[in-house]
Amino acid sequence: MLHGMSQRQLAEQLGISQKWVWEMEQGKPGLLTERLFEMLRATGVRLYAEVDEPEEDAHPSEPSSDE
């Protein structure tokens, strides 16, 4: 779980299936990702990813009293 989000929650947020999220996590190739990486290789473009550490109060378990 990244940022405290389950596969199901991420899939719902993105409007995709949980299976698709699982397959991406497992590194299963798909036509879209294969073509993306082919394009990157052909153009010499490098793709970098940076994962931010989740903030401790980003997903509070209880609503704040200010609301």
Query: Could you read off the pLDDT tens digit of each residue along the chain, which spans 67 residues?
Result: 567 889 999 999 999 999 999 998 898 888 888 999 999 999 999 999 998 877 765 555 545 445 4
- Rounded to an integer, what distance in angstroms lies between the CA atom of residue 14 and that of residue 10? 6
Indicate whether 15 belongs to any domain. yes
Q: How many domains, in total, are found in the chain?
A: 1
User: Which CB contacts under 8 angstroms, 24+ apart, belong to 47-55?
Assistant: 51/2, 54/2, 54/3, 54/4
C-alpha triplet 4, 9, 13: angle, nearest 5°: 115
Domain span including residue 19: 7-43
Mapping DSSP to helix (H, G, I), strand (E, B) and coil, where does residue 5 land? strand
Indicate whether 49 belongs to any domain. no
Q: Are 25 and 7 in contact (CB under 8 A)?
A: yes
Indicate whether 39 belongs to any domain. yes
Indicate whether 20 belongs to any domain. yes
Indicate whether 63 belongs to any domain. no
Residue 31: what pLDDT? 87
pTM here is: 0.54
Residue 1: what pLDDT? 56
